[in-house]
Structure 1
Amino acid sequence: MSARCAGLPLTKTLVLIGLMGAGKTSIGKRLAARLGLPFVDADNEIERAAGCTIQEIFDRFGEAGFRDGERRVIARLLEQPVHVLSTGGGAFMDAETRGLIRERGLSLWLRADLDLLVHRTARRDHRPLLRQGDPREVLQRLMDARYPVYAEADLVVDSDDSPPEVTTERVLETLRQHLAVPAAHP
């Protein structure tokens, strides 16, 4: 089943962007299932290509080394057939990566507020950038720096504390509107 069969004529990879904790993986997997497309997590692909974890990449090569690898992996992924791609929070900040996403993908920003991001990221301890101080302050700094750039995304959907299925429906409706496809009626 393709995205076209699901009623959406998606001709480019749907690239999810947003801060850590916005729901890119959770919503991305649900979207892929609903659209009949593969789901790919860029961070998993980066780890596979590097043969180590993202934390290890950061430790060995710093953020600049990580971003270089991330750029190359995303470029490769955007050459593959249409799929749903979840990217790391900093991927869209790289001008070259952003340009590739604009050219070869359809970007969708999952926008979330600070309290939600703090709550969601507190559950896990694998985020290198959150180890650089108070997580709330780090997330606020990231929001201040990144949200103006994320606003360049093709589409924006708010991620809140609704069940993931509700956010997934919001994304599908946003895609329908963007692609000018009428909603299916029972």
Structure 2
Amino acid sequence: PFDLVRVDLKAKKLEDGSDYTQINPKGQVPALGLESGDLLTEGAVIVQMIADKAPHKNLAPAHGSSERYKLQEWLNFIASELHKNFSPLFQPALSDDTKAFFQDRLMGKFKYIDQALTGRDYVMGQHFTVPDAYLFTMLAWADRVGLDISGLPNLVGYKARVAARPKV
């Protein structure tokens, strides 16, 4: 169980008007406050913690396994190569040429993922895991900024498979 709270990232305010940076000094989302009082602020870490709290869901391989390291590799790739390259596309002050540069970079990354998905239903193989949730979010952002992935058949099929999942 969890409670969602909206954050205005431009103003760094919570929906009640309070200062979000008092919760997360980074001023970024996500942030997950735990019952222990600890705060987790990086999505790749948060999704692994969630997977570990529900091991029966098989959202992540076991700690220390080679498959867990592959999962971490995917999460880090999505965070560093996709997520961070989307940021400039949401900046209205940047020129169209600058945005085109980042769109081209993203397409190169999506082409890599398209090839990696050959013969796989999901990034780790045949089963949905936490990197799939993160990648699906990046694909939603691709739609939002007009990035056309229609020429990447494995990625298009993957997106449809994830979108068809009941909890999506």
In terms of Rg, which structure is larger?
A: 2
TM-score scaled by length of structure 1: 0.27
TM-score scaled by length of structure 2: 0.29
* Greater strand fraction, Structure 1 or Structure 2: 1
